[in-house]
Chains A and B, each alone.
Chain A
């Protein structure tokens, strides 16, 4: 299975990089773009074939390494 994990800063956590991107977009003339937030995407292939088991494993990976629960949220997408 293929997995895509998206890690984003929790709402309320200041994202200075997002702010800088927002400023740059505005400088390029893209008006009306607000609340720009920067995150990261982690992709991987898993040997696991059972979706529930794969999801449980990915949850564990996110909690132990891929995301920092103090400041980040994560979401998991799985495809065959």
Chain B
């Protein structure tokens, strides 16, 4: 299985994502620069965390319009699995691949700690390693993680089972405690917490290793 990590100026979790993917797939991912126009052949695309373009204008706004995103959008719409973590989630909403927006944390503080998430839906390819209702621990590290969408959109996400992860103790004011959602086809996941940071006991946890392993098994 071949994977790709998109690297934007000021991405800072790209190498963590690469290590997590190599651990799960047995193969180092292709690191693809934002200015490239084409993606290599790939079965999984990761948009990593960071502060692409210094969060200018809005978090993820510039990155969502960068040259590589045209190729990412094309692949995503054709069904290639895509994960956006943290800044990657912001980029996916800005690119229109996921609904809603990530706003300034309700408490205005940058929040950097491990949070507990509840797995709301384990039928997704991104959560099949877990059981429904299971608690998993992933770190968050963001200033703009406050998920916002109008109530119709939120109702639709809920009724279609597209809320995959929910905060047990909401750190940022996100609507309905939403931590991670998928698109209507189920092949695009956006989440603020960082599974790539907990892939070894040495890093303080292994729930992220299970996340990536489950995804790789599901994608095949």
Q: State whether A17 and B101 are in contact (beta carbons under 8 Å apart), knowing that A68-B61, A68-B94, A71-B148 are contacts in the complex.
A: no
Interface size on B, residues (CB 8 A): 20
B173:A14 contact, CB within 8 angstroms: yes
B106 on interface, CB distance cutoff 8 Å: yes
Q: Is B57 an interface residue (CB 8 A)?
A: yes
How many residue pairs bridge A and B at CB < 8 Å?
35
| Complex contact B65–A65 (CB within 8 A) | yes
Chain A: which residue is nearest B94 at the CB level? Answer: A68
A16 with B57: in contact, given A65-B65, A70-B148 (CB under 8 Å)?
no
A residues 39-60 in Cβ contact with B at 8 Å: none
| Cβ-closest chain B residue relative to A10 | B150
B97 to chain A, nearest CB (A): 13
Q: In the bound complex, do residue A70 and residue B101 qualify as a contact, i.e. CB atoms below 8 Å apart? A: yes
Main secondary structure of the interface of A (DSSP, over half): helix
Q: Does A13 contact B (CB under 8 A)?
A: yes
Q: Is the CB of A16 within 8 A of B101?
A: no
By the criterion CB–CB under 8 Å, are A68 and B173 in contact? no
Most chain A CB inside 10 Å of its own CB: which residue of B100, B150, B173: B150
Contact B93 A70 (CB under 8 A): yes
- CB pair A71–B57 under 8 Å, yes or no, is no
**Residue numbers in A under 8 Å from B100 (CB-CB):** 70
Complex CA gap A65/B95 in Å reads 10
Q: Is A78 an interface residue (CB 8 A)?
A: no
Write the B85-105 contact mask toward A (1 if CB under 8 angstroms, else 0): 000000001100001110111
B101 lies within 8 A of A65 (CB): no
In the complex, A14→B65 CA distance in Å?
A: 26
Tell me if A3 counts as interface (CB < 8 A to partner B).
Answer: no
